A and B are shown apart, each in its own frame.
Chain A
């Protein structure tokens, strides 16, 4: 079926034809569509067609209590749900002036970095599958499952953890969890050379990804690109370092960059970030036993919680890019307005449209996966 706003017209005879790419297409990430105009195999024009996953999040959040929204927000971005809840919780804390205990902040960092590893593994897998290398996808999904097992153990949910509440986190770590997380990290680290040999050094991937979907640093900044996609153009910008939240300023990590701004660089940046995330997690595991104290600040009765009047803007670095919340409170039990600034709405709409032009049709899927766009978050 065609896009809603589509008007069919009889055109004079030409060599161009139109193709609806998606929404139900194995090469597209999730429920998303592109309308492309082709000349032979080459894309002449691409138009993004979203809205298949629209649920009206920002409106729904205005109709629910502050605390109920915690369960709602992870659904905005399915592959990487943890930053959503952390960012929202941070916004509410800032509105109320709550002080989050140290231990809760370290636990949040642990959750965020685990989520980043899981999301990156999933993205490589998808990217590899679009170039026909299904074994990398099988490996990526299997290794991601190890992280999901950890999530299940310490938050109670495999995918949606709902671990945060304004003021802290919900539960303490289970016994022996730090040992198990170290084992999993060791295992994933030992797998990285295998991934290199199978995927990152594979000529099939290198030849197809190099020079595909190129953007310069100026273009990236003008288009609002953030996250690994921006770092792949050579700019070392990371919210974790440049505007530190939680306890990231006490942690030691690097910001990997690449210079070329193509699909290959973007995927390589993610590969290098895995190492950094593992490094951060090791520091968290080493530090956690010495940080004692409560895991959440006392909050008033959450069912009758009137958050003070005010406006806040919080941002975190998710695995896809910069994620921000703008929350307005009118002093009532429910938010007055919540705006989510997700990274994927820029990546999947304007960037993808421009990058697809001039590429061959089989590279569209690859470009989309290398941008790591997340359709549920585009549509919200």
Chain B
């Protein structure tokens, strides 16, 4: 314990050359070891097995699939998101640890694509969560997927890929769109505002009338409800 305390805590990041080198190193490492959580929301998922396995081999870029959201860095949305899926996508996104990156594969995530007039799909993904990169195409080839991932690696390395901060800074906007789609009672088990305070990412857009609405509707979660994310009914005899 004592040895840990002796490590100097770097608070003045901007002026400190050591901190800059350290940050650069961290970003380099981060961009070279990415775990993707692919939520197979649509047809684009079919091009991921070729991209992951021997022929195109994503692993040589240091990218591997990961099964649990808590350990994943990239959320890959592979195609159209129906409204039922979108709820799960948002929940998954909020569970992921920061820094996190979102890639929208397929035209359907950009503007609705083929299903522009469908009653069941959400048309623009970036109304509901910040997206770092889109890979357009119906469906994009594995080469395009790899090129997109390389682009993301570059952006992480240069420090531009920080859309996850946007979710905290503009939470009110995203929550508003979610409430418009799912109803006013929409509530996820993750407390974004507390998290924003934790990361020190409170901005003007964090609060607004939508977060007020959330506070009104928000029910305090008991231990058991927290696990289920819902209030329970009493047993009916």
A residues in contact (CB < 8 Å) with B: 1-2, 4, 7-12, 23-26, 30-31, 51-56, 59-60, 63, 71-72, 75, 78-79, 122, 125, 137-138, 141-142, 144-145, 148, 158-160, 376, 379
Residue of B49, B67, B121, B141 with highest tally of chain A CB at under 10 A: B49
Contact of A30 with B45 in the complex, beta carbons under 8 Å: yes
12 contacts across the A-B interface (CB closer than 8 A): A1-B87, A1-B88, A1-B229, A2-B229, A10-B235, A31-B40, A55-B115, A63-B117, A75-B43, A79-B46, A141-B55, A376-B43
Residue in contact with B49 in the complex, picked from A1, A8, A56, A141, CB distance below 8 Å? A141
Contact of A159 with B47 in the complex, beta carbons under 8 Å: yes
Q: A8-B230, A31-B40, A60-B115 are in contact. Are A51 and B235 (CB under 8 A)?
A: no
B residues in contact (CB < 8 Å) with A: 37, 39-43, 45-47, 49-50, 53-55, 65, 67, 69, 80, 82, 84-85, 87-88, 91-92, 114-115, 117-121, 138-139, 141, 228-230, 232-236
Residue of A nearest to B113 (CB): A75
20 extra A-B contacts, CB within 8 A, seeds A7-B233, A159-B46: A1-B91, A4-B84, A8-B233, A9-B233, A12-B235, A26-B67, A30-B40, A31-B85, A52-B41, A52-B82, A55-B121, A56-B118, A63-B117, A75-B43, A141-B50, A141-B53, A158-B47, A158-B141, A159-B43, A376-B43
Contact of A72 with B114 in the complex, beta carbons under 8 Å: yes
In angstroms, how far is the closest chain A Cβ from the Cβ of B225?
9
With a CB–CB cut-off of 8 A, which chain B residues contact A75?
43, 114
Task: Give bound CA distance, A182 to B115, whole Å.
Answer: 38
Contact of B236 with A9 in the complex, beta carbons under 8 Å: yes
Task: Give bound CA distance, A7 to B236, whole Å.
Answer: 12
Contact of A53 with B85 in the complex, beta carbons under 8 Å: yes
Residue of A52, A72, A138 with highest tally of chain B CB at under 10 A: A52
Which 8 pairs from chain A and chain B are nearest by CB? A78-B43, A141-B53, A52-B85, A141-B49, A10-B235, A138-B53, A78-B46, A56-B120
With a CB–CB cut-off of 8 A, which chain A residues contact B43?
75, 78, 159, 376
